[in-house]
Structure 1
Amino acid sequence: MDFKTLVGLSGLSCCCFLHSAAQENTLMQRPNFILIVADDLGYGDLGFTGSTQIKTPNIDRLAANGAVFSQGYVSAPVCSPSRAGILTGRNQVSFGHDNNIGGSQPGFDEAFLGLPLSEKTIADRLHTLGYVNGLVGKWHLGDQPHFHPLKRGFDEFWGYTGGGHDYFASEPDGRGYKSPIECNYKEPSAITYITDDKGTECVDFIGRHKDDPFFLFASFNAPHTPMQATKADLELYQHIENKKRRTYCAMVHRLDVNVGRIMDAVEANGLADNTLIVFISDNGGPTNSNASINAPFNGQKGILLEGGIRTPFIMNWKNTIPEGTVSADPVISLDLAPTFFELAGGKTKEEDQFDGVNLLPYIKGEIDGKPHDSFNWRFTISAVIREGDWKLIRLPDRFPVLYNLKEDLSEQHDLAPENIEKTKALLKKLGAWDLAQPHPVFLEGAEWRANQLNLYDRTYQLSQPE
């Protein structure tokens, strides 16, 4: 019943009663949100993105029944800053979270080694709107108590605060990849295979909170190193000679199985019509460490070529997002937080300073045009501006390079020498944006900068294996 009808009814008590009922109905209809984030997944390693080796029927089904963004980006080419952008809806450079978390360098205060407390997460925002928020898996936004996910808007946490974990084991007093699993709502069981364990916890969360509006951050570490797969999954890919590639394929297969379990749990609990499911990776695949393939894109994790920042990007909402939607408009992971917030009933204000936008009106054709005209990136030694189809990359030891992505998807032809005015104009815009950003609140080690520069000179596989 619409508001005008209510106003037109006579009788104050009747009006108040119906208005209250309408409010309750609106509250009940607020969508649930499930954000599934893979870790270090190669763009070309899913069926719907062209893989000829890895079978991913569940993720492919999620894509076929929803919207796929062929130009979907993340805001950083490595884990921690990318996740900071995803959860805040703000370019993490704008609040000093430029670098990956891997220790504090001399001259920096370790108390700031995490997602700055000045920033609200989407869990913070949804909490104020009455949502139950759960994080299953990887955090990587600060180990110290004041950065803990339970202090950043999440009501439930099963996982680990670091950047990765062993797939088969943890130790009571373990550190790093052998750290114990934390859980605030039960005594966690021993790890079986952590990708499966995360799937189990996600299914459990959905079942326990099916009557509440909820946000589930399904934060997988697959297929991030260490390269560990189950024996059964390895046997599925025994025909692949390269051992690392074989293990990687098996790990992606197991990720797909658990995405399917999450999807089935949504259906089984009668939530499909009221649940928005998003699937992305936190960055491109690190081809040099996990044998991923980012084809047809050049580059990898750690650098700002397309292979480092363009990822699979799916939004699925039964009977709301039309099945089979394919959008070629550039979008970015920063769009997810404002999308969730506004769909939950939040009102975006200027002081929220979102760098993303609510994507749903664009998907449904309610707003004409593209969500974004340009993007900026900065990560350690490199910075990028994309404006329309033009993309300029600035590096410290060479002239800037310029690509036209519409004509050169794999970034093979530097057009800067023959487009000097375009290069100068984009370089000036990028420089003005860069100078307006604050100083990083922490820095990763200098050895990573040299490594990242070297990654720009590698040759990358641009096609699927035969």
Structure 2
Amino acid sequence: MSAERFLLAFFIFAAAFAPASAAQDKPNFVIILADDLGYGDVGFQGGKAKTPHLDKLAAEGIRLAAHYVHPMCSPTRAALLTGQYASRFGVTGAQNEQAFPFGTPTMASLLSNGGYDTALIGKWHLGSGLDTPPDKFGFGYSYGLLAGGATPDTHEYKMGPHQRTWHRNGTLLDEEGHITDLITKDAVKWIGERADKPFFLYVPYTAVHVPINEPERWLKMNEHIEGPAQRLHAADVSHLDDGVAQILAALEKKDLRKNTVVLFLSDNGAHDDVDNKQDKYPGIDTRPHLTIRGSNTPFRGWKGGLYDGGIRTPAIAHWPGHWEAGVQDAPVSVTCWFTTLCSLGGVELPRAATGDGAHLNPMLANHAKNGPLEPMPIYSASPGYRARMVRLGDWKLIVTKGGGAKDKKGDRKELYNLKADPGESRNVIAEHPEQTAMLEEMLAKFAAHDMVVERDKGGKAGD
């Protein structure tokens, strides 16, 4: 063989095998997002529901004890995928309208451009119409709900234009089966079909969003809980836990666990008392009429609000061989995952997509060895901008429009030292004017970049 032919054959051989090798070096990403799961709803944080698989994942991974999201589902989902606080797009409550413009860089679109297979299996709720499905925002495959929380048996949204919402790749379909099982089954199948390319799988479950109805298996698992309402809620949590276990088992079966980053998160805190019959949803007579509530213990507040109960949620980060197990108390934002996963995936962020979050890998890789971290500011707005908050280090400021005063004039301002008062029970604003002034200035800078859009403000437990 001539030297020229040898070199040509060599380069053809190298070209054929180099991409696969490079692809194998990139980590896979799996994000599992629970719906309305409170800080105290899981066993590893003192919850009564049986969650053996999540407890094991938390013990083997990093439990993020101060992971902040937005107080409603659509905003958190927008922040997770774009790396920007959702109020940048005017998204502050649950909504069916398109959340952000076409062409907005998302985690899915950037990873897809970087050679990743991408899939969303579960709840989208960033544009409930057939003209705004996940595939228009970077997902190569999608299955589940275009709209928000749905009935567990017929997989329907609230009665109205988006009631029929179950789909595959933007085409509506009807299927039988419990909604949690269908989401899990499809996620497991999709993992089983992966070949050499790295992948990003986003699995936003509807559990534990009302309305709830659970098979006897999960009720029996939680028979230690007195009261049918709390037992039903716990059964839903345990059913979700089993779904997580099946996804992890699918990764193990393909020998992918060691090179897969797994995140378990929740979109907002648990809701206060809400009637499970949910008369806005079809099939009202098919589910238990019980008053359901979750647990945000030990924090104050609920879904829709800016006390920590509404925005500080369960979070686990796991990457075997890269992130040492333990507990990380430093406050972090859901916006950070956009920057972190894109960076780990070797994707260069466009200047317009730098986002509001930090790259967490240095912290996660060395959290057991490093001392106190430089605190990052955490910002959020409640539905309709009724209130805004900012946290920096131990200090948190909440400013509420109208302040709850009878004349609705002026704002109510609350300052809490979360290290001394994690339950936000004592407003110390009068005692710390300098700290208040600093946080007010920071809050104003964040708010200046918010987009005000007139929408249904939402913010109810069933949204």
TM-score range, shorter chain: 0.7 to 0.9
Secondary structure class of the residue paired with 1:400: strand
Secondary structure class of the residue paired with 1:82: helix
Asked if residue 361 in structure 1 is aligned to residue 352 in structure 2, the reply is no
More divergent stretch after superposition (58-67 vs 346-355): 346-355
Partner residue in 1 for 2:145 = 160
> Cα distance, 1:94 vs. partner?
1.7
Structure 2 contact 50–221 (Cα < 8 Å) conserved: no
Letter in 1 for 2:380: W
> Cα distance, 1:349 vs. partner?
4.3
Distance in 2 of aligned mates of 1:186 and 1:375: 38
1:425-444 to 2 correspondences below 5 Å:
425-440=438-453, 442-444=454-456
Structure 1 contact 133–156 (Cα < 8 Å) conserved: yes
Secondary structure class of the residue paired with 1:386: strand
Partner residue in 1 for 2:394 = 389
Query: What 5-or-longer segments of structure 2 have no aligned partner?
Result: 1-5, 275-291, 404-411
Q: CA, structure 1 residues 184+147, in 2 after alignment: closer, same or farther (shift >3 Å)?
A: closer
Partner residue in 1 for 2:320 = 318
- In the alignment, which of 193, 196, 216 is matched to residue 231 of structure 1? 216
Structure 1 contact 170–177 (Cα < 8 Å) conserved: no
1:232-381 to 2 correspondences below 5 Å:
232-289=217-274, 290-322=292-324, 324-365=325-366, 370=373, 372-379=375-382, 380-381=385-386
Distance in 1 of aligned mates of 2:76 and 2:103: 17
> Cα distance, 1:238 vs. partner?
3.5
Structure 1 contact 168–194 (Cα < 8 Å) conserved: yes
Partner residue in 1 for 2:278 = none
Partner residue in 2 for 1:105 = none
Letter in 1 for 2:39: Y
Letter in 1 for 2:414: V
More divergent stretch after superposition (19-28 vs 428-437): 19-28
1:70-219 to 2 correspondences below 5 Å:
70-74=65-69, 76-101=70-95, 113-170=98-155, 179=164, 181-184=166-169, 190-219=175-204
More divergent stretch after superposition (286-295 vs 407-416): 286-295
Partner residue in 2 for 1:32 = 28
Partner residue in 1 for 2:60 = 65
Partner residue in 2 for 1:106 = none
Structure 1 contact 279–315 (Cα < 8 Å) conserved: yes
> Cα distance, 1:162 vs. partner?
0.7
Letter in 2 for 1:313: A
Structure 1 contact 165–177 (Cα < 8 Å) conserved: no
Distance in 1 of aligned mates of 2:124 and 2:36: 14
Q: CA, structure 1 residues 418+172, in 2 after alignment: closer, same or farther (shift >3 Å)?
A: closer
Structure 2 contact 41–295 (Cα < 8 Å) conserved: yes
Distance in 2 of aligned mates of 1:349 and 1:114: 20
Query: What 5-or-longer segments of structure 1 have no aligned partner?
Result: 1-10, 103-111, 453-466
Deviations 1:104-136 (A, max 9, x none): xxxxxxxx6433325222111111011111111
- In the alignment, which of 405, 410, 429 is matched to residue 418 of structure 2? 405
Distance in 1 of aligned mates of 2:87 and 2:251: 35
Q: Provide the alpha-carbon RMSD of the alignment.
A: 2.8
Structure 2 contact 155–179 (Cα < 8 Å) conserved: no
Deviations 1:246-288 (A, max 9, x none): 1100000000011000011110111011111100000011122
Distance in 1 of aligned mates of 2:168 and 2:352: 34
Letter in 1 for 2:85: N
Q: CA, structure 1 residues 325+26, in 2 after alignment: closer, same or farther (shift >3 Å)?
A: farther
Structure 2 contact 43–49 (Cα < 8 Å) conserved: yes
Structure 1 contact 330–371 (Cα < 8 Å) conserved: no
Structure 1 contact 33–215 (Cα < 8 Å) conserved: yes
- In the alignment, which of 421, 425, 428 is matched to residue 415 of structure 1? 428
Q: CA, structure 1 residues 13+359, in 2 after alignment: closer, same or farther (shift >3 Å)?
A: farther
Distance in 2 of aligned mates of 1:202 and 1:279: 15
Letter in 2 for 1:148: P
Distance in 1 of aligned mates of 2:413 and 2:380: 14
Q: Percent identity?
A: 33
Letter in 2 for 1:89: G
Q: CA, structure 1 residues 173+297, in 2 after alignment: closer, same or farther (shift >3 Å)?
A: closer
Structure 1 contact 115–147 (Cα < 8 Å) conserved: no
Distance in 2 of aligned mates of 1:186 and 1:178: 14
Distance in 2 of aligned mates of 1:163 and 1:184: 17
Deviations 1:205-262 (A, max 9, x none): 1001143211111110000000211122223334433322111000000000110000
Distance in 1 of aligned mates of 2:100 and 2:177: 30
More divergent stretch after superposition (386-395 vs 282-291): 282-291
Distance in 1 of aligned mates of 2:240 and 2:250: 16
Distance in 1 of aligned mates of 2:156 and 2:123: 17
Partner residue in 2 for 1:50 = 46
Distance in 1 of aligned mates of 2:221 and 2:327: 31
Distance in 2 of aligned mates of 1:176 and 1:187: 13
Secondary structure class of the residue paired with 2:225: coil
- Between Structure 1 and Structure 2, how many residues are aligned? 426
